[in-house]
């Protein structure tokens, strides 16, 4: 019997009720389109990321548990894993090379929600419309969870919000697919939230743990939902409870209002950003600015020029560290490195993060020479706007480029053709017509058929160094 205490309305139960009652017909047309593009973009990132060393390690671990033909590794012809383990592997692969989408709530929803949703949808053979509904629920809950924590405040305490809030999003998506009722969904949210974690310590030495956070969050969401469906209860006040609720535990500046304000009327997921560059989203405005400076001042870039860069406090803490050749992740998180790469190479793509490029003496020297300065004006903009500026000296005068919102953000969006081109560029072994058919199938066919369209025919995927 449900206790009186559990029946008291609160943020967790309001969110759970919304998830359990969400219907495809309630989604605005724009939201459906954003979700379709997100599914295709994330699948492209995941298939590419499959060949990274960290994704291969996770797959080896998952397969050690034996074959369970319920969900597949993306790009493979047959399902061989449990849904939770498939979500773990595909989530890690999607986040494997800093190509997956991001939101200004300072997290990566696609690499968590979509691997979890597709794994469960494949097991259930869910129709495409149900998959889109589930992904919409997952994105929205994950983003709102971070907004309620106050993303900048939580980030400055050292939390990686993809790992902290991701289990909520994955559980929400899986609850829709599994048809959980409101109470079961509240349990799933509680079980998901108690697994939330993710520490920024990976920046100390550029290790693989950041890649794991997305996959583990996806795994946790699937596990939470499967347990709730079996009757395993979870805390139904996981957000708001004072002693150990997520809001109090992870942030000193949290506010529950964003969890439920205009829930079902306003979709924050519509403002998700697509990555054109293979690095931290907080650096993308700077890359845009550097590329524009290169266009204005000419190439090849004159490394003797003085260059200044304006930083907000969070970006300084997160990405402003001195650059020294190390791992790909170290460079992908380094503002100095990506600006130097943009100025020198005119692009910041996976090829900029090979071992030889990371250790290039001229590139390393340019990264070290950049003058990074604090700009309080950027603090007032961030994280609502991932803004930044870069300035370079020419003939004794400074030429400065300010970018309020980077390429790939809602203010400068990447459209469906751009996402398809990105998919093809990352995965040339897949025929262009197969990618087009998969894009058209997302809503029109069951999840199994969508995934089957993304299987290469006799092509070997090239390992990423």
Cα-Cα-Cα-Cα dihedral of 358, 53, 44, 102, to 10°? Answer: -60
Q: Is the pLDDT of residue 294 over 60?
A: yes
Reference 75, options 102, 53, 45; nearest CA is 45
Residue range 235-259: mean pLDDT, rounded = 96
On whether both 256 and 288 belong to a single domain, the answer is no
Q: Is the pLDDT of residue 284 over 90?
A: yes
User: Judging by beta carbons within 10 Å of its beta carbon (0-12, 13-18, 19+), is residue 347 exposed, middle or buried?
Assistant: middle
Residue range 403-459, pLDDT digits in tens: 999 999 999 999 999 999 999 999 999 999 999 999 999 999 999 999 999 998 654
Domain enclosing residue 372, as ranges: 281-403
β strands within 207-261, DSSP E:
none
Residue range 237-253: mean pLDDT, rounded = 96
97 in a domain, yes or no? yes
- Give yes or no for a contact between 73 and 249, defined as CB atoms under 8 angstroms apart: no
| Percent of the chain with pLDDT strictly greater than 90 | 95
Residue range 198-224: mean pLDDT, rounded = 97
450 in a domain, yes or no? no
On whether both 238 and 202 belong to a single domain, the answer is yes
Q: Is the pLDDT of residue 214 over 60?
A: yes
Residue range 162-173, pLDDT digits in tens: 999 999 999 999
For residue 169, the domain's CATH number is 1.10.4100.10
On whether both 231 and 326 belong to a single domain, the answer is no
Q: What pTM was estimated for this model as a whole?
A: 0.95
Q: Is the pLDDT of residue 3 over 60?
A: no
- pLDDT class of 7 with cuts at 50, 70, 90: very low
Q: How far apart are CA 124 and CA 114, in angstroms?
A: 15
Last residue within a domain, chosen from 271, 305, 329: 271
Q: Is the pLDDT of residue 461 over 90?
A: no
On whether both 216 and 319 belong to a single domain, the answer is no
On whether both 73 and 41 belong to a single domain, the answer is yes
Strand 307-311: give its sheet, edge to edge.
371-374, 307-311, 388-394, 397-403
On whether both 316 and 246 belong to a single domain, the answer is no
Q: Nearest 5 degrees, angle CA 350-CA 351-CA 352?
A: 90
417 in a domain, yes or no? no
Last residue within a domain, chosen from 249, 271, 293: 271
**Mean residue pLDDT across the chain:** 95
138 in a domain, yes or no? yes
Radius of gyration of the chain (CA): 22
Reference 141, options 118, 121, 164; nearest CA is 164
On whether both 120 and 265 belong to a single domain, the answer is yes
On whether both 263 and 292 belong to a single domain, the answer is no
On whether both 241 and 308 belong to a single domain, the answer is no
- pLDDT class of 4 with cuts at 50, 70, 90: very low
Lowest mean pLDDT among 4-18, 252-266, 291-305: 4-18
462 in a domain, yes or no? no
Q: What is the pLDDT of residue 250?
A: 97
Q: What is the pLDDT of residue 458?
A: 56
Question: In residues, how long is the chain?
Answer: 465
On whether both 237 and 329 belong to a single domain, the answer is no
On whether both 258 and 285 belong to a single domain, the answer is no
Q: How far apart are CA 208 and CA 191, in angstroms?
A: 25
How many domains would you assign to the chain?
Answer: 2
Q: Is the pLDDT of residue 1 over 60?
A: no
Last residue within a domain, chosen from 271, 297, 328: 271
User: Judging by beta carbons within 10 Å of its beta carbon (0-12, 13-18, 19+), is residue 260 exposed, middle or buried?
Assistant: middle
For residue 352, the domain's CATH number is 3.30.1330.120
Q: How far apart are CA 411 and CA 280, in angstroms?
A: 18
On whether both 333 and 360 belong to a single domain, the answer is yes
């Amino acid at each position: 019997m449900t206790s009186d205490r559990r029946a008291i309305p609160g943020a967790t139960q309001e969110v759970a009720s919304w998830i359990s009652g969400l219907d495809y017909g309630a989604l605005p047309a724009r939201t459906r389109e954003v979700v379709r593009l997100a599914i295709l973009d994330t699948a492209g990132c995941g298939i590419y990321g499959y060949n990274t060393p960290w994704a291969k390690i996770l797959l080896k671990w998952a397969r050690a548990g034996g074959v369970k033909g319920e969900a597949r590794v993306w790009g493979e012809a047959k399902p061989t894993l449990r849904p939770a383990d498939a979500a773990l592997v595909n989530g890690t692969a999607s986040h494997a090379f800093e190509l997956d989408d991001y939101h200004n709530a300072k997290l990566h929803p696609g690499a968590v929600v979509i691997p979890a949703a597709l794994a469960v949808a494949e097991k259930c053979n869910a129709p495409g419309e149900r998959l889109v509904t589930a992904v919409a629920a997952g994105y929205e809950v994950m983003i709102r969870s971070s907004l309620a924590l106050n993303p900048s405040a939580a980030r400055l305490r050292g939390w990686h919000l993809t790992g902290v809030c991701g289990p909520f999003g994955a559980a929400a998506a899986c609850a829709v697919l599994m048809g959980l009722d409101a109470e079961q969904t509240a349990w799933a949210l509680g079980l998901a939230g108690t697994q939330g974690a993710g520490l920024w310590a990976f920046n100390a030495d550029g290790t693989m743990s950041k890649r794991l956070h997305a996959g583990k969050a996806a795994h946790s969401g699937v596990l939470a939902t499967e347990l709730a469906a079996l009757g395993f209860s979870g805390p139904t006040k996981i957000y708001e409870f004072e002693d150990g609720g997520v809001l109090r535990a992870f942030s000193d500046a949290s506010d529950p209002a964003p969890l439920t304000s205009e829930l079902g009327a306003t979709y924050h997921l519509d403002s998700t950003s697509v990555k054109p560059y293979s690095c931290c989203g907080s650096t993308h405005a700077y890359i845009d600015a550097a590329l524009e400076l290169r266009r204005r001042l000419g190439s090849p870039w004159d490394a003797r020029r003085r260059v200044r860069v304006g930083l907000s406090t969070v970006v300084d803490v997160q990405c402003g560290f001195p650059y020294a050749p190390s791992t790909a992740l170290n460079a992908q998180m380094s503002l100095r490195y990506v600006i130097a790469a943009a100025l020198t190479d005119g692009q910041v793509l996976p090829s900029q993060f090979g071992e030889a490029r990371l250790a290039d003496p001229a590139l390393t020297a340019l990264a070290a020479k950049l003058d990074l300065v604090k700009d309080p004006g950027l603090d007032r903009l961030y994280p609502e706007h991932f803004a930044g500026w870069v300035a370079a000296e020419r003939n004794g005068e400074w030429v400065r480029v300010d970018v309020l919102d980077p390429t790939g953000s809602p203010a400068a969006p990447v459209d469906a053709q751009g996402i398809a081109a990105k998919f093809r560029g990352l995965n040339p072994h897949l025929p262009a017509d197969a990618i087009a058919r998969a894009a058209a199938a997302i809503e029109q066919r069951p999840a199994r058929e969508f995934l089957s369209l993304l299987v290469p025919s006799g092509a070997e995927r090239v390992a990423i160094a």
